[in-house]
A and B are shown apart, each in its own frame.
Chain A
Amino acid sequence: MGKPDVETVADRIARRLGRYLGPHTGRVAVKTFATRALGRGPETLTIDDVPAMNEALRPMLRTLLGKQRCEIVIQHILGEFGL
């Protein structure tokens, strides 16, 4: 089985988090916060959900990386989707 040709929205957010948390934990974090904040699984995320996901991820990022790095990661996620 190869990698899927197109990354999903969840994959792209997880990749940004994975830099700090590792790929597996990045995916776990996206799943955790998608379920908690949006009440849906990560496979359902669309670009429209990205701002809400960022808000859900912000407390985690701020705790582990601090305010400044958190904002940089948030900006990178928004940039990833051209937002």
Chain B
Amino acid sequence: MTYRSVALSPLVFVACTAALAALVPAGVRDTVVQGEVDVSKVLACAGMLAAALAFDRGDYLRRGWGVWAACYACLLGRDAMLLANGRVSLVVYDVTRGVLVTLGNAFVVVGAWTLARAWTVAGLEHPGPKGARRAVLALAIVVALAFAGPTLVVDVRDIVLGPRADFDSIASDLGDILSLPLIAPVALTALAVREGTLRWTWMLLTSSLVAWLLYDAIYTLPDYFSVSPVGYRLVSEQFHILAGAFAGVAGFTQRMAVTDDDDEDAA
């Protein structure tokens, strides 16, 4: 299997999930989309775990990939709790979901931070003038705040005014705000290795974070404009699925780059 075909597979996957979501009866659409999201999370968890296990104990990227895989495992656990809704007490349900989401978002921040710093830890400088690199990072911070910030404000307001605290939403918002600006160093790493085999991993990881950003952006649209919630949710969830699929495939290409038993002299 070539890097190119592996890299394109998330787009094919999302074309299929979008078509399925559009074709199923409206009454089961939410359930089908939730199932699709969970399949993409399984893919992300498996791919990132495969990448982590391609490295030896003590290797820097083993920790980054492993922690990010743990994030997806926690988010899958949170979704699995949906099946327990009504069968356990509301307190147990809320606390378990809250802990899993908080852990998951802590893991994504640590995982993304670790991978984003890999180039610097390796002793290399990202391409381009220092000013341009700082501008890219500043832009990523502004965009992340613009899209994830309003949701955080709404969720904090709901906790203050509402009858039931929704702390897992706050954890998700903070996770997004802290991890999405890391698109900048990850994208700069992808740019640095754009002609080598590692480009696939870093381009796909960048694509995953961009898909997360677009997921947040579409979710935030109703805060800025009057948008029908049904249509935008259907679209936003496809970006959610795409983010997971890209993350998984990024992990698989990292494993390929590290473990392929090829003849380097023939390359």
Of A2-10, A45-53, A61-69, which binds chain B? Answer: A61-69
Would you call B205 an interface residue if the criterion is a C-beta within 8 Å of the partner chain's C-beta atoms?
Answer: no
Q: Is the CB of A25 within 8 A of B193?
A: yes
Complex partner residue of A23 from B119, B125, B195, B199, CB under 8 angstroms: B195
Q: How far is the CB of B81 from chain A (nearest CB, A)?
A: 35
The reply to whether B55 and A67 form a contact with Cβ atoms under 8 Å apart is yes
Please give the residue numbers on chain B whose beta carbons come within 8 Å of chain A beta carbons, in ascending order.
Answer: 54-56, 58-62, 118-119, 121-125, 127, 192-199, 257-259, 264-265, 267
Q: Do A20 and B124 touch (CB < 8 A)?
A: no
Q: Tally chain A residues at the interface, Cβ within 8 Å.
A: 28
Q: 9 extra interchain contacts, Cβ-Cβ under 8 A, other than A23-B195, A26-B196?
A: A18-B196, A19-B197, A20-B196, A20-B197, A22-B193, A22-B195, A29-B124, A59-B123, A69-B259
The answer to whether A22 and B196 touch (CB under 8 A), given A63-B61, A64-B122, is yes
B197 touches A60 (CB 8 A): no
**Chain A residues within an 8 Å CB radius of B123:** 32-33, 36, 59-60, 63
Which of the residues A32, A63, A65, A67 comes within 8 Å of B257, measured between beta carbons?
Answer: A65
| A21 beta carbon closer than 8 Å to chain B | yes
A40 within 8 A of B: no
Q: Does A78 contact B (CB under 8 A)?
A: no
* Contact residues of A: prevailing secondary structure: helix
Knowing A20-B197, A25-B195, A60-B122, the reply to whether A66 touches B267 (Cβ < 8 A) is no
Evaluate contact between B194 and A22: CB separation under 8 angstroms.
Answer: yes
Give Cα distance in the complex from A41 to B214, angstroms. Answer: 44
**Bound form: Cα–Cα A6–B193 in Å:** 26
Neighbour of A25 across the interface among B55, B60, B196, B267, CB < 8 A: B196
Q: List 12 A-B contacts (CB under 8 A).
A: A19-B196, A20-B197, A21-B198, A22-B196, A22-B199, A25-B192, A25-B196, A26-B196, A66-B59, A66-B258, A68-B56, A76-B264
